[in-house]
């Protein structure tokens, strides 16, 4: 056992937001340019002429490449970036603060973060936020949380959107190996003026931002005719595509090379060089567009919920991340998910008996999903304001994607009920 002392002190979310170190910025811009060079990044700007800070930037979230494209889109301006604490822990808090990062946790209500964003605006800065809060599972945009419009209305500053293309195709979350030759693009536009941000109804703000940040990487690949011909291009696709559309069996999908196949019925599909799926042999294509398969799975989960046929209960390995210093191994726990939300039972660090943390459906907009987090396998995370719990399955029948679908559907159902009361 390691003799290293475990630090359980919660991350200081109230700490004043850092300014980007001007001495580091030339190196950051150069590294960003070097990282995007192979993709021949093209940046198009609309209504940006004459715009000066302060302003809020909302960007799509495809892959790690986003963090190289965004600084180039904003050049020569410096900015602050909202970042999850995993990055602080992995790269170190000092370097993350030097490039202007504000630490937070995903899918929690963080009033300290809102106050720090306000501080950035008040001192005439730029704040970059990735409101999807996780990488794209199949290269399509996620529904943005309602808090997005509320934040915009509260800040009353201009809103800039960055819609990126190619970042997911180059390195999808289900297989992070880099695909060479993928073209990169980014559309940067001033979406709202300060006056519009402060006066438009919340639903109109939300709709405008959602539309501006909508994307479909596979549709874009088909439109451009981009060829991605690496022989392993489908490997890992069974993580988001966990259910066979031919026989309906869950958790029996596998992949090898350019093919994805079902271990239950033998159905097999090939991923073409243009990102489309084709049935192999006697297998009907069913879904040529990968996001269509993904959304079909979502509908299966919603149907199960409608019939009260959804319930998940499983053993999990629990890790916690209370701060930017260390992960803490908490051993085995039990995760239950149903109409009321999540219940996580485990023995916390320093405790002698297990206890249960509850994450109600009406306050859990979505969850963070990982398909091979730091080489440890598939997991989800659940967060409180002062801790993030990484949950890895200890038995068969676990799908981070399915849990995400159910969480989002249950949130919609719970908030709709609340609105009707």
Q: What is the pLDDT of residue 420?
A: 55
Phi then psi for 150, rounded to 5 degrees?
A: -65, -40
* Degrees, nearest 5: CA angle 156-159-160: 165
Q: What is the pLDDT of residue 3?
A: 54
- Residue 256 pairs in a beta bridge with 259
C-alpha of 22 from chain center:
29
Domain positions in the chain are 25-224, 253-306, 312-420
Q: Could you tell me the two tokens for 372?
A: 């091979």
- Whether 278 and 286 have beta carbons less than 8 Å apart is answered as no
Interatomic CA distance for residues 17 and 125, integer angstroms: 11
Interatomic CA distance for residues 123 and 132, integer angstroms: 26
> Pairing mode, if any, of strands 55-59 and 159-165?
parallel
Local confidence pLDDT in tens for the 421 residues of the chain: 445 689 999 999 889 989 899 999 999 999 999 999 999 999 999 999 999 999 999 999 999 999 999 999 999 999 999 999 999 999 999 999 999 999 999 999 999 999 999 999 999 999 999 999 999 999 999 999 999 999 999 999 999 999 999 999 999 999 999 998 899 999 999 999 999 999 999 999 999 999 999 999 999 999 999 999 999 999 999 999 999 999 999 999 999 999 999 999 999 999 999 999 999 999 999 999 999 999 999 999 999 999 999 999 999 999 999 999 999 999 999 999 999 999 999 999 989 999 999 999 999 999 999 999 999 999 999 999 999 999 999 999 999 999 999 999 999 999 986 665 5
Peptide bond into 54 cis (omega under 30): yes
> What average pLDDT is seen over the chain?
95
Interatomic CA distance for residues 148 and 153, integer angstroms: 9
Q: What is the pLDDT of residue 4?
A: 67
- Residue 140 pairs in a beta bridge with 216
Give me the half-sphere count of Cα atoms (radius 13 Å) on the Cβ side of residue 263. Answer: 9
Interatomic CA distance for residues 269 and 284, integer angstroms: 9
Q: What order of strands is seen across the sheet that includes strand 42-46?
A: 42-46, 185-192, 159-165, 55-59, 126-129, 80-84, 101-104
- Whether 391 and 316 have beta carbons less than 8 Å apart is answered as yes
Q: What is the pLDDT of residue 1?
A: 40
Phi then psi for 262, rounded to 5 degrees?
A: -100, 130
pLDDT digits (tens, 9 = 90+) for 258-312: 999 999 999 999 999 999 999 999 999 999 999 999 999 999 999 999 999 999 9
Helix (DSSP H) and strand (DSSP E) numbers for the chain: 12, 18
pTM of the model: 0.95
User: Could you write out the three-class secondary structure of 113-166?
Assistant: HHHHHHHHHHCCCEEEECCCCCCCCCCECCCCCCHHHHHHHHHCCCEEEEEEEC
Q: Could you tell me the two tokens for 208?
A: 């405008």
Q: What is the pLDDT of residue 103?
A: 93
Phi then psi for 127, rounded to 5 degrees?
A: -120, 125
Domain 312-420 bears CATH identifier 1.10.533.10: no
């Amino acid at each position: 056992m390691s003799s290293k002392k475990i630090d359980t002190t919660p991350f200081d979310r109230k700490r004043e937001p850092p300014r980007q170190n001007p001495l580091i910025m030339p190196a950051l811009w150069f590294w960003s340019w070097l990282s995007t060079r192979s993709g021949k990044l093209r940046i198009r700007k609309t209504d940006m002429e004459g715009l000066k800070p302060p302003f809020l930037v909302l960007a799509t979230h495809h892959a790690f490449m986003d963090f190289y494209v965004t600084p180039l889109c904003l050049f020569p301006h410096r900015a602050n970036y909202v970042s999850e604490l995993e990055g602080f822990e992995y790269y170190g808090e000092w370097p993350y603060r030097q490039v202007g990062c504000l630490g937070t946790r995903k899918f929690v209500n963080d009033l300290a973060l809102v106050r720090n964003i306000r501080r950035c605006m008040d001192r005439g800065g730029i704040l970059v936020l990735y409101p999807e809060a996780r990488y794209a599972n199949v290269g399509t945009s996620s529904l943005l949380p309602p808090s997005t419009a509320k934040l915009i209305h509260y800040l009353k500053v201009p809103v800039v959107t960055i819609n990126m293309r190619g970042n997911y195709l180059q390195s999808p979350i289900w297989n992070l190996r880099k695909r060479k030759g993928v073209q990169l693009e980014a559309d940067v536009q001033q979406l709202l003026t300060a006056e519009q941000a402060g006066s438009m109804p919340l639903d109109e703000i939300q709709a405008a931002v959602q539309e501006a940040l909508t994307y479909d990487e596979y549709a874009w690949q088909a439109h451009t005719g981009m060829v991605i011909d690496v022989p392993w291009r489908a490997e890992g696709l069974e993580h988001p595509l966990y259910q066979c559309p031919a026989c309906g069996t869950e958790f029996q999908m596998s992949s090898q090379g350019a093919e994805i196949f079902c271990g239950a019925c033998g159905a097999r599909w090939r991923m073409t060089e243009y990102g489309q799926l084709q049935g192999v042999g006697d297998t009907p294509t069913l879904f040529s567009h990968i996001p269509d398969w993904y959304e079909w799975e979502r509908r299966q989960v919603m149907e199960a919920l409608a019939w009260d046929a959804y319930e998940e209960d499983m053993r999990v390995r629990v890790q916690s991340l209370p701060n930017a210093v260390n992960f803490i191994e908490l051993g085995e726990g039990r995760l239950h998910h149903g109409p009321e939300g999540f219940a996580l039972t485990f023995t916390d660090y320093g405790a002698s008996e297990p206890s249960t943390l509850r994450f109600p459906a009406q306050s859990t907009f979505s969850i963070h999903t990982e398909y091979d987090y730091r080489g440890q396998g598939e997991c989800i995370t659940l967060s409180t304001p002062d801790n993030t719990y990484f949950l890895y399955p200890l038995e068969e029948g676990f799908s981070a994607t399915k849990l995400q679908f159910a969480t989002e559907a249950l949130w919609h159902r719970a908030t709709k009920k609340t609105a009707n009361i």
